[in-house]
Structure 1
């Protein structure tokens, strides 16, 4: 019961911001005495802070304003992309306090070298966070591939050229010392992008399909506010849904996969921009804005392929929305017309509104933001578990 009540108080502060004990009691249905005791426990764990007297507009003595702490425990997100590495730190309010991102050509690169450089990026983020009084208590790594989350292993990441890489175990060697006792997890980047939409985007429904692209195409399904993972955790491989069964061979070994029609490399090749350096999505956007007919044609074809693949998912799952994230969000102006056309022609057995096809507000920031938010959500939903972990960690530190 106490664990549940601690979570109620944390949720009330997270949802409503600074509040008096009386306001928290009113919102949670707990007594003021119970709230006072719970607040003391949360404060001892470094989760809440006292902001001083705050007039409430009511008769009587003003209450003390309480809020989630802006210092102390934080969430760390790390990302391995085909062309970049990133790290970010969020405080308990879900506010980004540190964001570090560097270009890194990771395609075909040895995992050990990638993870060593990611360790350097994490160290830079940790140093900046520490200067603000923050210390990450959980870390999640976003990776573009099939992930065995239970073992922290990347089973397949075709666009990186990785197979059976124990990322969590190997990365621990390269993390700065303060992060080594911290729980480290690995998750698919499309899943984290979808969770970021659920947690951070305004007015997002609780059931939707999130589609994102970097070098490959990933998707994630959210049902009733929960991520649908599938029997083995591999749900969402939209990039390898066949669009034309007799089409060109894909890197996965099958033929006619969506990635062969709407993947980044395919679109760049069709536009004659395969050798473009730097930010290739920006190069595509600039060319499209300039009216390059070859680029406009390639993006229209990519949109139609995406619409064809997603029509089946809409007919099967009946989501409230389709959300284009990642690089697709930046190319949405040119992808959406072809997508809408295919969806209108192929989703015929149920009502379908063009407004249900939406662009992400988070874009390419989604996976990294989602990775950092995982830890914050867990603390808010189960502060007692965090307090237990903190006490154990401190005892172990004293023992050493």
Structure 2
């Protein structure tokens, strides 16, 4: 089954609250309190926090325990008289998400459990020259097999395989990924066919959106609004506002690489001219030179910059300036105070950040009295594959009742 990318549909205001709806509302209320608690929370504390009766709390907790969404975590003191009470917290066993990523230096696979903990992370160097989509996705399918074999003894159930790709996605269809040479490639169907023996639903999403979700989780709620900029095969942006991923009407927002920075500039594979992609991608930074055997584009660019190669340093100056120009327009519109440099940009941030900041300070209207932070992303090049694995976990956290009754999940972050 190929899972479409769509938002969850809330209950319409005019619909009555039926008994089953009330059960779901109460279950999700209890689960949210367990999810939000900094420490294991007792049944008594849940009753006080939610206003639900003790029998209702007991029934819901038993459902969540049986569904492996929560676990008992020793004893907790809640400040009340009497004996310590049994604490409840998210379970590290039960549902898990599988993420797969195509990035500048190769392929990656990741498994994340409900707590957000990475349980498996693997990387395989790969190139995409003269390789069709089917061959690339077949390699990823083998990595999916290995990931599931690795966690097979850890009492985890993978819910969905989510693929991160550098381009706009329509369902499972990759509309355009010039850096891969893909146009209207049904990556969802190809991947589903390659892993059908695993009997997993498949979702496909833009890698910058998925990386932004990974960073949102990794920040532990310390970042509420930010722009995540992904550099590598392509350049994309994941935009988070007030804790929610901004996906756009069709889920195609964030194509920062095809923002024009020089109207009469270099032709871009997309058909336009002067796109940021042509000045700041890894290919542009490397000047189109082939990557030496046994290394990767990321490693090659970093090694040349470390060695003080004049051409590479000049290309990084150009890239940082172009990136700062493109970001300035976005920041003027969105009023966001944090930019995270991710993907290859995280590794090259030492050479990019100063020029990016110079352009932002010069071009963002509010920067003089409201400085904008520009820094490397926490997860570096792994953000997209971790975010891909987190999509199904994110949906279970939002709709635990659906997991308990085995309903299909949307397995994507809500817009």
Q: Give the TM-score normalised by structure 2.
A: 0.87
Q: Tell me if 1:310 matches 2:327.
A: yes
Q: Tell me if 1:205 matches 2:227.
A: no
Structure 2 CA distance for aligned equivalents of residues 55 and 308 of structure 1: 54
Deviation of residue 322 (structure 1)? 1.7
* Match among 350, 360, 378 for residue 343 of structure 1: 360
Q: Tell me if 1:276 matches 2:299.
A: no
Instruction: State whether residues 164 and 206 of structure 2, in contact with CA within 8 Å, keep that contact through their aligned partners in structure 1.
Output: yes
Which range moves more in the overlay, 339-348 or 60-69? 60-69
Provide the secondary structure at the position in 1 that maps to 2:287.
helix
Structure 2 CA distance for aligned equivalents of residues 391 and 350 of structure 1: 45
Instruction: State whether residues 46 and 57 of structure 2, in contact with CA within 8 Å, keep that contact through their aligned partners in structure 1.
Output: yes
Q: Tell me if 1:285 matches 2:307.
A: no
Which range moves more in the overlay, 285-294 or 3-12? 285-294
How many equivalent residue pairs?
386
Q: Tell me if 1:376 matches 2:398.
A: no
Instruction: State whether residues 320 and 354 of structure 2, in contact with CA within 8 Å, keep that contact through their aligned partners in structure 1.
Output: yes
Alignment of 1:185-334 (within 5 A): 185-202=203-220, 204-269=222-287, 274-277=290-293, 278-334=295-351
Unaligned runs of 5+ in 1: 393-400
Deviation of residue 352 (structure 1)? 5.6
Deviation of residue 353 (structure 1)? 4.4
Structure 1 CA distance for aligned equivalents of residues 264 and 391 of structure 2: 41
Deviation of residue 54 (structure 1)? 4.3
Kindly tell me: are residues 30 and 276 of structure 1, through their superposed partners in 2, closer, same or farther at Cα, counting changes over 3 Å? Answer: farther
Give me the CA root mean square deviation: 2.2
Q: Tell me if 1:31 matches 2:53.
A: yes
Structure 1 CA distance for aligned equivalents of residues 368 and 55 of structure 2: 52
Instruction: State whether residues 78 and 139 of structure 1, in contact with CA within 8 Å, keep that contact through their aligned partners in structure 2.
Output: yes
What corresponds to 2:151 in structure 1?
129
Deviation of residue 72 (structure 1)? 1.9
Instruction: State whether residues 45 and 78 of structure 2, in contact with CA within 8 Å, keep that contact through their aligned partners in structure 1.
Output: no
Which range moves more in the overlay, 52-61 or 255-264? 52-61
Structure 1 CA distance for aligned equivalents of residues 405 and 60 of structure 2: 15
Alignment of 1:51-62 (within 5 A): 51-56=73-78, 58-62=80-84
Instruction: State whether residues 141 and 186 of structure 1, in contact with CA within 8 Å, keep that contact through their aligned partners in structure 2.
Output: yes
Instruction: State whether residues 108 and 161 of structure 1, in contact with CA within 8 Å, keep that contact through their aligned partners in structure 2.
Output: no
Deviation of residue 66 (structure 1)? 2.1
Unaligned runs of 5+ in 2: 1-21, 410-415
Provide the secondary structure at the position in 2 that maps to 1:389.
coil
Provide the secondary structure at the position in 2 that maps to 1:77.
strand
Deviation of residue 295 (structure 1)? 2.5
Instruction: State whether residues 81 and 106 of structure 1, in contact with CA within 8 Å, keep that contact through their aligned partners in structure 2.
Output: no
Instruction: State whether residues 33 and 46 of structure 2, in contact with CA within 8 Å, keep that contact through their aligned partners in structure 1.
Output: yes
What corresponds to 1:397 in structure 2?
none
Structure 1 CA distance for aligned equivalents of residues 255 and 377 of structure 2: 19
Provide the secondary structure at the position in 1 that maps to 2:184.
strand
Q: Tell me if 1:165 matches 2:185.
A: yes
Structure 2 CA distance for aligned equivalents of residues 318 and 23 of structure 1: 39
Instruction: State whether residues 300 and 337 of structure 1, in contact with CA within 8 Å, keep that contact through their aligned partners in structure 2.
Output: no
Q: Which has the higher contact order (CA 8 A, sep 6+)?
A: 2
Instruction: State whether residues 104 and 298 of structure 2, in contact with CA within 8 Å, keep that contact through their aligned partners in structure 1.
Output: no
Q: Give the TM-score normalised by structure 1.
A: 0.90
Provide the secondary structure at the position in 1 that maps to 2:180.
coil
Kindly tell me: are residues 320 and 391 of structure 1, through their superposed partners in 2, closer, same or farther at Cα, counting changes over 3 Å? Answer: closer
Provide the secondary structure at the position in 1 that maps to 2:194.
coil
Instruction: State whether residues 291 and 300 of structure 2, in contact with CA within 8 Å, keep that contact through their aligned partners in structure 1.
Output: no
Deviation of residue 56 (structure 1)? 4.8
Structure 2 CA distance for aligned equivalents of residues 306 and 354 of structure 1: 17
